[in-house]
Amino acid sequence: MKPDVLHGLGLTVVPTSYIREELQRGQLHMPFGEPVQSDDSYHLVYPERKSHNPSVIVFRDWLLRGLRKNVPDIAR
């Protein structure tokens, strides 16, 4: 899945260690800033150029609304 995300074809949920190099090179972007510290962390990442894409924003907001219902302490 990582190659697809690197080509702008989607979003992925992966451990930070799996995408560390891509984050450092600026190929991927973590839209919520620092990762959430927890036993079960998830990160929504996508190319920074997509950060203002309406479809990405709608998906991100939908995902967060759903997660907040089940994980009250989720990062904003």
22, 28 in Cβ contact below 8 A?
yes
Residue 33 Rama label (left phi>0; alpha psi -120 to 50; beta): left
Q: Is residue 48 part of a domain?
A: yes
pLDDT in tens, the chain (76 residues): 677 888 877 667 777 888 889 999 998 887 666 665 556 667 788 889 999 999 999 988 888 886 776 566 665 5
Q: Is residue 53 part of a domain?
A: yes
Please, what's the largest Cα pairwise distance for the chain? Answer: 34
Number of domains the chain is built from: 1
Residue 63, both tokens? 């995902």
Q: Is residue 76 part of a domain?
A: no
What integer pLDDT is reported at residue 4 of this predicted model? 81
Domain that holds residue 10: 2-70
pTM: 0.48
What integer pLDDT is reported at residue 54 of this predicted model? 96
What integer pLDDT is reported at residue 55 of this predicted model? 92
